[in-house]
Amino acid sequence: MKLRLSLVLVLFFTFKMPYCQTDTMKPNVLLIICDDLNDYQGVFGGHPQARTPHIDKLTNSGVRFLNAQSNIPVCSPSRNSFITGVYPHVSKDYGWTDLKKQPVLKHNKTLMRYFKENGYKTLGSGKITHGSVMEDWDEWGMPLKHNYGPLYFDGEKNNSNPSVPAPFNSIGPIDGSYGRLSSVKSEGIEGKKGWVYGWDKKPMRYISDNDRDLMQDELHAQWAANKILELEKNETEQPFVLAVGFVRPHTPLHAPDKYFDMFPLEDLVLDQWKPDDSDDTFYKANFNTENKDNKGPKYYRMLLESYGGDHETALKHFLQAYLACVAFVDEQIGKVMDALNNSKFKENTIVVLTSDHGWQMGEKEYLFKNSPWEESMRIPLVIKTPDCKENFQVEHPVSLIDLYPTLKDYCNLKGSNKLDDLGGDLGGFSLKPFIDGKEENWKGPKGALSVVGNFGVDIPTEKQNFSYRTQNWRYIRYGNGQEELYDHKNDPYEWENLALNEAFKEVRRRLSHEMDKLINTE
């Protein structure tokens, strides 16, 4: 198991037994989801310089899943999957299809709807799913259209931060933008150059770190903290789900100066990296790396070109922005957790922290998510219950697909995850045996299954690209049959592909068989 510091798309579920609980009452749930958060947290060891005291504090008070994986390492299908409990290869949801329009998942209940049918009050704000499902929420916070900023408005259109060098800045205002908020002065006047909240170009004022409007994630944290106070004041006995979707560290990687100042460029160290590490992989043979949708290799090349081909200099500039955004979202998480811990709900709350997927920081000449390797797949996952062991670690592989059945189990939810027979079956297994310290009762698989999809429902499942992670191995099988095999016990950075080594033939066959059993379970 590779100890790596992570930021991970973060997903927090807080389950609480209501005050004055009776046998008929159900626990409340606080769900916090972070976007593009890999394992760059102190407690997960992804990067030695990451600053995440609030995530670390939560983790040290609960159960830490060291080998948790995303089932598909790209935002929309990952969220669609864990919010409905359906494997991506079952729904054939591999791209950016709106949840309400996806041919299979539109027949499934979202987790929020499932809770609502079981008597819960549902409250949310931020990025939970791609595509609005407002009918599943009793109350909603900040506008969805403001999730991805702030963006830089150049007077005519949204663009990348002017401090970002070419050609990386040509990628655009989302993925092609990073840097300090102080790189742009913004008067907050409509139609003038400066920071805006989103695609509607609503102005955001920034004069200095101490004289500015709040960023989106700060507004989400403020809303959530106030909602906890409101729920306590109202003394409601109705159980609730409170979901907060933080966007950081998703691009654009913008944050106030104080977070960048935590990570001086001259002091930064890059994670372990090996030149030509992609030479024994088969990603390029299975994906058109010139395709506009194949962003990882393209972004890496463009970032290096922007800094004269110097890998270390280029990656340090991007890494600084990523770590700053991780520290920023960690502080927002701390605000929500402080509100919870200072409320009457503290002692009867279960907290779950996770992310939709990770992020690859230049390894294998790849700068993005949506790859079959550890950096894209591994996510932080922490679950804290009132009676769980503190600072307890689980090394068995699990994945996001297990969250839906876990919440169903803990909250005693009744009914199907389907709206009708056209919906996908519930995948995954409850993680309660691990949390209760009874791993021998685990009924799930030996490994975690993920897919890196070739987009389109017309592509047969067997032509998709699957990645399978066990405690000691990662096995990858591409759509054309090519394979990769990595021994995590001796090669935690996945530097040596052993798939063609005859000494590991039986290991490869065994893992391939275990993978097929999961793929064919529909």
- pLDDT class of 345 with cuts at 50, 70, 90: confident
Q: What is the mean pLDDT of residues 173-177?
A: 97
- pLDDT class of 277 with cuts at 50, 70, 90: very high
Residue 515 confidence (pLDDT): 97
Q: 124 has which bridge partners? A: 140, 243
- pLDDT class of 27 with cuts at 50, 70, 90: confident
Percent of the chain with pLDDT over 90: 80
Query: Is the pLDDT at 376 greater than 90, yes or no?
Result: yes
- pLDDT class of 409 with cuts at 50, 70, 90: very high
Query: Is the pLDDT at 375 greater than 60, yes or no?
Result: yes
Instruction: Tell me the per-residue pLDDT of 350-372, one tens digit each, with 9 for 90 and over.
Output: 888 899 999 999 999 999 999 99
Instruction: Please check whether residue 243 is in contact with residue 124, taking contact to mean a CB–CB distance below 8 angstroms.
Output: yes
Residue 3 confidence (pLDDT): 45
Nearest to 447 by CA among 377, 515, 400: 515
Q: Which residues are CB-neighbours of 44 under 8 A, at least 6 positions away?
A: 3, 4, 5, 6, 59, 64, 66, 380
Instruction: Tell me the per-residue pLDDT of 64-93, one tens digit each, with 9 for 90 and over.
Output: 999 999 999 999 999 999 999 999 999 999
Separation of CA 349 from chain center: 22
Delimit the domains of the chain by residue range. 11-149+215-519
Average per-residue pLDDT for the chain:
91
Instruction: Tell me the per-residue pLDDT of 190-249, one tens digit each, with 9 for 90 and over.
Output: 999 999 999 899 999 999 999 999 999 999 999 999 999 999 999 878 889 899 899 999
- pLDDT class of 11 with cuts at 50, 70, 90: very low
Element (H, E) at 475: strand 473-477
Query: Is the pLDDT at 475 greater than 60, yes or no?
Result: yes
Residue 352 confidence (pLDDT): 84
Residue with tokens 């104080």: 258
Percent of the chain with pLDDT over 70: 93
Residue 459 confidence (pLDDT): 81
Q: 254 has which bridge partners? A: 179
- pLDDT class of 147 with cuts at 50, 70, 90: confident
Tell the CATH topology of 11-149+215-519: Alkaline Phosphatase, subunit A (3.40.720)
Residue 120 confidence (pLDDT): 93
Provide DSSP, 202-249: -B--EEETTEEPPPHHHHHHHHHHHHHHHHHHHT--S-EEEEEE--TT
Cα–Cα distances (Å) from 403 to 13, 31, 315, 362, 383, in that order, read 9, 11, 33, 30, 10
Could you give the angle at the alpha carbon of 241 between the alpha carbons of 147 and 41, nearest 5°? 60
The C-alpha atoms of residue 160 and residue 180 are separated, in whole angstroms, by 12
Residue of higher predicted confidence among 457 and 402: 402
Tell me the residue type at 303: L
Q: What is the mean pLDDT of residues 506-513?
A: 98
The C-alpha atoms of residue 182 and residue 357 are separated, in whole angstroms, by 29
- pLDDT class of 291 with cuts at 50, 70, 90: low
Query: Is the pLDDT at 455 greater than 90, yes or no?
Result: no
Residue 289 confidence (pLDDT): 66
pTM for this prediction: 0.94
Query: Is the pLDDT at 342 greater than 80, yes or no?
Result: yes
Q: What is the mean pLDDT of residues 420-441?
A: 96
Q: What is the mean pLDDT of residues 246-264?
A: 97
Residue 25 confidence (pLDDT): 66
Instruction: Please check whether residue 11 is in contact with residue 33, taking contact to mean a CB–CB distance below 8 angstroms.
Output: yes
Residue 386 confidence (pLDDT): 78
- pLDDT class of 16 with cuts at 50, 70, 90: very low
Q: What is the mean pLDDT of residues 153-169?
A: 97
Residue 271 confidence (pLDDT): 85
The C-alpha atoms of residue 195 and residue 437 are separated, in whole angstroms, by 49
The encoded tokens of residue 503 equal 């000494």
Instruction: Please check whether residue 88 is in contact with residue 451, taking contact to mean a CB–CB distance below 8 angstroms.
Output: yes
Query: Is the pLDDT at 5 greater than 70, yes or no?
Result: no
Instruction: Tell me the per-residue pLDDT of 47-63, one tens digit each, with 9 for 90 and over.
Output: 999 999 999 999 999 99
Q: What is the mean pLDDT of residues 451-468?
A: 85
Q: Which residues are CB-neighbours of 262 under 8 A, at least 6 positions away?
A: 51, 323, 324, 327
The C-alpha atoms of residue 515 and residue 476 are separated, in whole angstroms, by 9
